[in-house]
């Protein structure tokens, strides 16, 4: 079944949307699935799974924030003929003991079919599409990571790596740490946003700054997890796997600004 559709979960989200668009541009048949996708797929409603999985051999597998990958879904996918999973995990899952994503990685590794795990660092698009956007607009971002270096990575580059793993050979059984080309602290990243857009965004990066704005239990859990991280080092995954130069943070900001971001 050479042109069996490739199932993209989270197809309205920041990575899934780009994975689906890239696959379609390359001429692959794509099935876009999510609660608002072309095919309705809901993790909490197994009755929606068969329509997403029928006739599919390859899956871009992602769980929305906080939700686990349901083992029953992986089992059903394999039973229905899926032969390859490309799983969106996250950089630092081992150090941070992120049980949700570590369990997802174990599931695909144990699925008995081909798998590739993507472990991207923070997405650039958090700043204009995702959960940092309100903070950028409000002029203050609180993340208890001090001056630690982050290898912010562009969602377009993550999608390019995912598409290579979904459609190419030699990626099975690989864990890819997907990063941008440089390591910046949050303070440096916000300074770039300020330089490009003229929007000044204060950075508050201590544990106490975080405790002041996040409910106690969540704050302590996150602070512990992030404390376990060191400085991030860029990898060559985007260039090596996707054959393109990874996007510099400044180029992402310029592109987003030119496209109308942060005008609200
Ligand atoms: N942001 C980061 O910096 C970062 C870094 C590393 C890893 N990650 C991981 O990336 C994942 C998030 O990926 P993303 O940013 O591509 O997604 P996203 O932009 O947060 O979008 C979530 C997607 O999941 C779908 N969705 C939400 N609830 C659903 C449900 N109950 N059933 C089915 N689909 C549902 C949404 O579409 P509908 O609303 O249409 O259902 C949407 O397409 C998380 O697991 C996170 O841990 C994030």
Question: Mind listing the domains of the chain with CATH numbers?
Answer: 6-258 (3.40.50.720)
**C-alpha to C-alpha distance for 64 and 33, rounded to whole angstroms:** 13
Digit-by-digit pLDDT tens for the chain (264 residues) are: 458 999 999 999 999 999 999 999 999 999 999 999 999 999 999 999 999 999 999 999 999 999 999 999 999 999 999 999 999 999 999 999 999 999 999 999 999 999 999 999 999 999 999 999 999 999 999 999 999 999 999 999 999 999 999 999 999 999 999 999 999 999 999 999 999 999 999 999 999 999 999 999 999 999 999 999 999 999 999 999 999 999 999 999 999 999 999 997
- To test the ligand 1 pocket, which listed residue (13, 60, 98) has its Cβ within 8 A of the most ligand atoms? 13
Apex CA 21: angle with CA 36 and CA 41, to 5°?
Answer: 25
Q: Is 34 in the pocket of ligand 1 (CB under 6 A)?
A: yes
**CA-closest residue to ligand 1 atom 35:** 34
Contacts of 197 (CB under 8 A, 6+ apart): 253, 257, 262
How far is the CA of 70 from the CAs of 117, 169, 228, in angstroms? 16, 27, 27
The Å distance, Cα 62 to ligand 1 centre, comes to 7
Is the CB of residue 71 below 6 angstroms from any atom belonging to ligand 1?
A: no
Residue the block writes with tokens 């060191």: 230
Please work out whether the CB of residue 35 comes within 6 Å of at least one atom of ligand 1.
Answer: yes
Q: In this structure, are residues 215 and 150 in contact, taking their beta carbons and an 8 Å threshold?
A: no
- Kindly give the number of the ligand 1 atom that is closest to the alpha carbon of 41: 33
Residue pair 226/145 in contact (Cβ under 8 Å)? The answer is yes
- For ligand 1, say whether the CB of 16 is within 6 Å of any of its atoms: yes
């Amino acid at each position: 079944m050479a042109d069996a559709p490739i199932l993209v979960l989270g197809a309205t989200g920041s990575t899934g949307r780009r994975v689906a668009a890239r696959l379609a541009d390359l001429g692959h048949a794509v099935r876009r699935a999510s609660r608002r996708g072309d095919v309705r797929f809901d993790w909490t409603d197994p009755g929606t799974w068969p329509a997403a999985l029928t006739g599919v051999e390859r899956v871009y597998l992602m769980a929305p924030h906080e939700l686990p990958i349901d083992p029953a879904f992986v089992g059903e996918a394999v039973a229905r003929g899926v032969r390859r999973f490309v799983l969106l995990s996250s950089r630092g899952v081992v150090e941070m003991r992120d049980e949700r994503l570590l369990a997802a990685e174990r599931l695909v590794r144990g699925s008995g079919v081909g798998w590739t795990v993507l472990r991207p660092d923070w997405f650039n698009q958090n700043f204009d599409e995702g959960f940092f956007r309100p903070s950028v607009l409000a002029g203050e971002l609180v993340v208890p990571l001090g001056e630690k270096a982050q290898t912010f990575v562009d969602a377009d580059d993550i999608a390019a790596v995912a598409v290579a793993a979904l459609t190419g050979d030699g990626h099975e059984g690989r864990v890819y740490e997907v990063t941008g080309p440089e390591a910046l602290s949050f303070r440096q990243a916000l300074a770039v946003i300020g330089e490009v857009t003229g929007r000044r965004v204060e950075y508050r990066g201590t544990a106490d700054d975080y405790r002041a704005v996040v409910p106690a239990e969540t704050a302590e859990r996150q602070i512990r997890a992030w404390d376990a991280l060191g400085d991030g080092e860029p990898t060559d995954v985007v260039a090596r796997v996707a054959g393109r130069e990874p996007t510099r943070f400044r180029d992402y900001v310029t592109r987003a600004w030119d496209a109308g971001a942060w005008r609200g």
